[in-house]
Amino acid sequence: MEFSQLAVVFVLFFATLIASVFGFGVGLIAIPIIALFIDIRIAIPLSAMAALTVIIVILLKQWREINFQSVWRLIVASCIGTPFGLLFLKSIQDNLSKLILAVIIMLFSGYYLLSPGIIRLRTDRGAWFFGAMAGILGGAYALPGPPVLIYSVFRQWPPGSMRTTLLSFFLPNSMIVVTSHWAGGLWTPSVLVLYGLSLPAMLVGIFIGNYLNRIIPKKKFSKAVYYLLFLCGLILFVQEYQTRLTP
């Protein structure tokens, strides 16, 4: 196995482990790092396949933990919000708005790390608002995750329910993305070989992540989610800032 292949296997192991604990993060973690070793046109479909693998493996076993009352509202509302996000995407002139989004995510998560537990949603009615925001951000930036993640923390679900509900929300989108990659000819031999090499490591990562999700106390889990959300904003900020500096 070449060094680049070994690096990809390790990164996907780590990314699937994190996603198995928290319910998101494969693409966020994997794509920027994998792209250092292989072509981005390989990294993107490979990461999408890895994300779908995590979703399917976990939901097949633990679908009973899904909060169906929330997830169907989130999915419907996100479908309504997505066209508005696409309209916004067409109207923006540069990446300044994405930088602002990254700062908002960091400020929000930082605030709740310092002052946890201030907001608590006791019903599923808020799913309509957060689902619509997820659709808008998904259409504009391909980032539907943060609003749904914030909603799940406000609802104070236990770690297992939070993770499976997040994954079930991402499932339709992930299936569409992977199918589109296949239809668009992005499932090249290089992608399939790397996926085959990485699959055993990903399954181990899913197993370990599943175990960690079960043993992490609820309060520590919520705090870890906000740390990861802050990291999402930081990575987004750095990526977009570098893009603006590139001539």
Q: Check residue 245 and give its pLDDT.
A: 64
What is the CA angle 205-206-208, rounded to 5? 65
pTM of the predicted model as reported, rounded to 2 decimal places: 0.73
> Per-residue confidence at 189, pLDDT binned at 50, 70, 90?
very high
Claim to verify: residue 26 and residue 141 sit in the same structural domain? no
Claim to verify: residue 107 and residue 136 sit in the same structural domain? yes
Claim to verify: residue 150 and residue 223 sit in the same structural domain? yes
Claim to verify: residue 133 and residue 97 sit in the same structural domain? yes
Tell whether 161 is covered by a domain.
no
Q: Which DSSP string do the residues of 67-94 spell out, in sequence order? A: -HHHHHHHHHHHHHHHHHHHHHHHH--S
Domain of 172, in residue numbers: 1-64+167-215
Provide the domain count of the chain.
2
Q: Check residue 64 and give its pLDDT.
A: 81
How far apart are alpha carbons 194 and 146 in whole angstroms?
29
Q: What pLDDT, in 10s, does the model give residues 34-80?
A: 878 888 788 888 988 998 999 999 999 888 878 788 888 988 988 88
Claim to verify: residue 58 and residue 179 sit in the same structural domain? yes
Tell whether 162 is covered by a domain.
no
Residue 12 pLDDT greater than 60, yes or no: yes
Claim to verify: residue 211 and residue 221 sit in the same structural domain? no
Helix intervals (H) in the chain: 3-22, 26-34, 40-62, 68-91, 96-114, 127-141, 145-154, 159-183, 189-215, 218-245
Residue 87 pLDDT greater than 90, yes or no: no
Does residue 7 or residue 100 have the better pLDDT?
A: 7
Q: What pLDDT, in 10s, does the model give residues 91-145?
A: 655 556 667 777 877 877 776 677 655 567 778 888 899 888 888 877 666 567 7
How far apart are alpha carbons 164 and 67 in whole angstroms?
8
Tell whether 83 is covered by a domain.
yes
